[in-house]
Structure 1
Amino acid sequence: MRMAGNFDEKSGIVPCITPWGQWYQTMEEVTLEVNVPEGTTSKEIKVDFKPKHLTCRVRAGEIKGELFERVLVDDCLWSLEDRKKVQIMLVKSRRSADNCWPSLFVDQYKADPLTFDDMEKKMTLERFQKENPGFDFSGADITGSYSGGGPQWKD
């Protein structure tokens, strides 16, 4: 079940640019967009999902590594778009605003500090939208340095 669909359309994405394309995330999913040679066919693509590992092979190229966190393998999928881009959707096993991945793989494809801050802000707005479905948070902004998926209260 995709709860974040309308939110994504209104708020856009916060991409982490990589040599092979980009990745971005919501509270529930991590999406990779892998640029492949134009004319690539689905028979030339092999994607292997494991709870903590991902491998994507296209012709002679490969992206693989240990995922930052676990995913629900049975819910993950990939598609070939316009024979030039592979889109891979990973479904997070822990779906909450405080589970913002700082990198796609452990020690690989890390978001820079500003991008990561923007990712956390977006996921918090997504959480607010989910908790308050009648309100429109698409124009909302969270200002200042941000970390942890929400305000931290101290007693």
Structure 2
Amino acid sequence: MADFAEKIGEIECKTPWGCWYQTLEEVVAEVTLEPGTKAKEIKCKLSGKKLTTVVRGKEILNGTVPGNVVTDDFLWTVEDNKLLRIVITKSDRSGRDCWKSLLDGQYPADPQVYDNMEKKLTMERVQREDLPSESV
């Protein structure tokens, strides 16, 4: 069965470095890299609520995430040496925690994009609540 997010698509917030989007559980930032960029050329860290990302010595992200997160579940990967995907796990996975920006005061979703993000998370939450729990 296809994942619900795949069925309705992600609501992306475009940024100068790529985009970010969110699901009930996660916030994902996709940073477009110069082709050929290697993981060893990237420093990406989530410490408490502070996210920093440096690519080839150039700071891309530096700020505080607006929601509560699970720092132990922080993950980043380099795909095809041209895309950095940063996955931040929300502590509140109920779908009621819709982030207005990736970092406090930085990369905000415009009102229409934010409205669409909220609608998507609400639909996702309603669908999840309506699913019968699987018996073991």
Please give the TM-score of this superposition, normalised by the length of structure 2. Answer: 0.91
Which structure 2 segments of 5+ residues have no match? none
Write the letter of the residue equivalent to 1:101. Answer: W
Q: Which residue of 1 aligns with 2:38?
A: 41
Moved over 2 A (4+): none
Q: Within 2, Cα distance between the matches of 1:28 and 1:51?
A: 17
Deviation string, structure 1 residues 77-133 (Cα, Å, up to 9, x no partner):
000011001000000012222210001111110000000000000000100111112
Task: Return the match for 2:120 from 119, 122, 125.
Answer: 122
Measure the CA separation in 1 of the matches of 2:21 and 2:115.
Answer: 13
- For residue 114 of structure 2, give the secondary structure of its aligned residue in structure 1: helix
Question: Counterparts of 1:101 and 1:65 in 2: how far apart (Å)?
Answer: 14
Partner of 1:86: 84
2:67 counterpart letter in structure 1: E
Q: Residue type of the partner of 1:8?
A: A
Does 2:105 correspond to 1:107?
Answer: yes
- Aligned position for 1:9: 6
1:31 to 28, 32, 48: 28
Considering fraction of residues, name the structure with more strand: 2
What amino acid is aligned across from residue 131 of structure 2 in structure 1?
P
Pairing partner for 1:73 from 71, 74, 81: 71
Q: When the two structures are aligned, how many residues end up with a matched partner?
A: 130
Which residue of 1 is the match for residue 94 of structure 2?
96
Deviation digits for residues 26-50 of structure 1 (CA, Å, limit 9, x no counterpart):
1110000001111000110111112
Distance across 2 between alignment mates of 1:46 and 1:60: 9
Identity rate of aligned residues, in percent? 48
3-state SS of paired residue (1:80): strand
**Partners of 2:70 and 2:128 in 1: CA distance:** 21
- How large is the Cα RMSD of the aligned pairs? 1.2
Matching of residue 59 in structure 1 with residue 56 in structure 2: yes
TM-score relative to the length of structure 1 = 0.80
SS in 2 for 1:97: coil
